[in-house]
Amino acid sequence: MKTENIGKKNNVSFERAAPVHTARAADSINPSMVIPESLPNVLGQTQYIDDLPRPAGCLQAVVRLSDSAHARILAIRTEEALALDPSVRVILAKDIPGTNQIGFNKPDEPLLPEEEWVYWGQPIAIVVAATRPLARRAASLLRIESEPLPAITDPREAAARGEFIFPPRTIACGNTQEAFSRCAYVVEGRVESGGQEHVYLETQGAIAQVVDGRRVHVISSTQGPSGVQRAVAQVLGVSMNMVEVEARRLGGAFGGKEDQAANWACMAAVASWITGKPVELYLNRKDDMRATGKRHPYSSDFRIGADKDGTLLAFEADYYQNSGFCCDLSAAILARTVLHATGAYHIPNVRVTGYMCRTNLPSFTAFRGFGAPQAFFVIESAMDALAQKMGIDPVELKRRNLYKEGDRTYYGMTLERVRASEAVERLLKKVDYPSLKERIAQFNATHRLEKKGLGLIPVAFGISFTKLQMNQAGALVHIYTDGSVMVSTGAIEMGQQVARKIALIVARTLGVPVAKVTVQRTTTLTVANTVPTAASTGSDLNGMAAKIACQEIRGRLVKKAAELLHALPEEIDIKEGAILQNGSPSALTWQALIEAMHASRQDLSAHGFYATPFLEYDMRTERGRPFAYHVYGAALVEASVDTLRGTYSLDSVSVVHDIGESIDPSTDRGQIEGALAQGLGWALLEDLRFGADGRLLSDTLSTYKVPDVSFMPSSIDIEFLPPIENPTTPYNSKAVGEPPLQYGIAGYFAVLNAIRAAVGRSVAYYNLPLIPEKVSDLLASTPCTQEPMEPQRGQSFNETISKKGA
């Protein structure tokens, strides 16, 4: 196969190859040979934080949470709690041995409040006791005296008062004002997108133990062990080399344990340090929902314009991000929002501004998609509103404006290997779009109490951490003398099968059966300075690091095999554990080769390090290449609305997705389906609601609805685009965790179009999630204006409609 060298970085040569449409038989690994993590899961053999055997003398910790959104602490009375049992200890901010601060992007996040609390559900005190029920009882006996303070819960109110965590961030190109003056069509409007609860199966938790009186070992349910290590060291006042953090596996995370797992690990560590005993802290579901962050709610304004033919000329947007009480990861999340502002569309004149608005709510945090879904919903709403004004099919407007090869984005990145149009056209052909439209029109004409609608979304999703220094990873690989292989990376297994993918990469690179490979738990002792398993980069970064380590070992093995076989190194190959000479099996076995390496005192271990090449971005000019590559795709959703009841059903979803050369198709397909479910839930179902006083109203799974089997479409059809080169990832693969979540947004517009069919007029309403309550009111209301009717915090949508006189 012909290749062209396109650069070298981290001792890795990157070559441009001809498109690969099928995995080469000689290099491919049979994924069915891997025992997936899911098998021991369903057999009940895997253990999570609360399943682990407790160390001898282990105490249980609970937290006392605040019961208002903002108040000054006057006194915390502990006498009754301490009198309950001799094992009870109460730990307050003044007891923290090190620095009472775990905010690293900005020091605005104390572990425990000293003078005032700033959101409803904030941990005020740590209470430990011999048992969890005893600790919970003791926490309830704390008497807290406080003075109420004003609270802000709305991001626009925060912006009006100048309550910003960091100054606004703007990216602009061209001249939008001049471009708008040339537009034949201009529309503007407001978009509201709600938050979203992570609902990971395993809630936040940690077990901490002081070893030898000075070292600390923490088992944490975290996506970022090194971040937890740093935070624990800081609150204890010790160096990081005195703290080991271990993450065995997570029962789900979705971003909720990227930064916020550090809170609970630090509390367990502080309690263990003070008591001298092991301490477990494991939240129940209600406390987890009250105390932790969720997906950021956004309130946004847009303006978009096109010429008479529908070619986009200008776009402006202002994003008011509800950041919550502290910085957390909000800056990075807002960065991804403003870097995905135009979605999959090329627009020559752009001005987008993001505002990080500080409110008295829990610190909103990472969630699958990381700020991009909010941006996609705004641009898709703008495109929908523009198509309504032009009187054309939104699909046709989208087709005319998709990114093309060589387009330069508004932040200065020249796009390569663009597949936006390919994905959309393949999807439209797949579903026979003209016939489908006609079938929907005929159905709507003959059914009075049920209407159908279609929604389509194209996706162009950038892959890399937007904070460039985070795009690095390390791996440690050992071959033992029996020929088995162990690999340790910074990747956290949390149900997404990253360990399975890394095992496949290691097996393919070394040339051994995948059954010989074991991926060990992640710990800061074996791989240091890890980045969180997030931003869809887990397999990319850690897989490449493992591949580099394996390539180093493989080079030694090939050299030794050539020596033993009296051959040249270029004549030697290793595949599926067989040592080949000139393409034919030799007499040398894998086991004999490993024993010969060990006998000749040659290293059977290697550390691999990888940093994503070609990334650069100038924050001053807002220009550069922030992403290694983009993932493209498109989805079409068909939905039906019951016009009498105001309910809806999702009939079918068709997806065409750019997966590259899939390392494990079954895993990738599962990731697409899972992301789609979360995207549909965010768009149509999951109603995260706070009261006007800042209290979380949807704080249990009886008041917060998540997707189930009855909600999901009866038909989900996923097709992969033919693979092409992607030289900065293992074996031309592509990230899969986050891009497909955007497909769920198409469900919103499918339901909205069914509503339009029912009322017989244009409905410009962009307020997510589009729950049945809103559908019912839209069906019964007077014609909607461009500006949505937004419920007040803690007020139902029905109450809002009635007050407007609908």
Angle at 538 between CA 465 and CA 373, to 5 degrees: 55
Handedness of CA 208, 215, 327, 412 (dihedral sign): negative
Phi/psi class of residue 425: alpha, beta or left (left: φ > 0; alpha: ψ in -120 to 50)?
A: alpha
Give CA–CA dist 252/188, Å, rounded: 39
Beta bridge mates, 129: 60
CB distance 691 to 793 below 8 Å: yes
Please compute, for residue 552, the number of CA atoms within 13 A of its CA located in the half-sphere on the CB side.
21
What contacts 760, CB < 8 A, 6 or more positions away?
A: none
Question: How many CB atoms are closer than 10 A to CB 721?
Answer: 18
Give CA–CA dist 768/376, Å, rounded: 12
- Is the omega angle on the peptide bond into residue 769 within 30 degrees of 0, that is, cis? yes
Query: 3-state secondary structure string, 245-259?
Result: EEECCCCCCCCCCCC
- State which H helix or E strand residue 226 sits in: helix 225-236
- State which H helix or E strand residue 598 sits in: helix 590-599
CB distance 632 to 656 below 8 Å: no
Q: Which pair of tokens denotes residue 687?
A: 């109603």
Which residue type occupies 233? A
202 is catalytic: no
What contacts 523, CB < 8 A, 6 or more positions away?
A: 225, 244, 245, 246, 247, 488
Give CA–CA dist 27/509, Å, rounded: 9
The SS3 assignment for 671 reads: helix
> Which residue is catalytic, options 197, 616, 738, 787?
738
Burial of 257 (0-12, 13-18, 19+ CB in 10 A): buried
Question: How many CB atoms are closer than 10 A to CB 587?
Answer: 9
As a dihedral over the C-alpha atoms of residue 311, residue 312, residue 314, residue 320, rounded to 10 degrees, the angle is 170
Give CA–CA dist 447/713, Å, rounded: 21
Length of the chain equals: 806
CB distance 246 to 224 below 8 Å: no
Please name which of 162, 535, 188 lies closest in space to residue 358, comparing C-alpha atoms.
162
Strands (E), 596-747: 605-611, 616-618, 623-625, 629-642, 647-657, 715-720
The SS3 assignment for 232 reads: helix
Handedness of CA 153, 155, 161, 167 (dihedral sign): positive
Q: Which of the residues are catalytic? A: 738
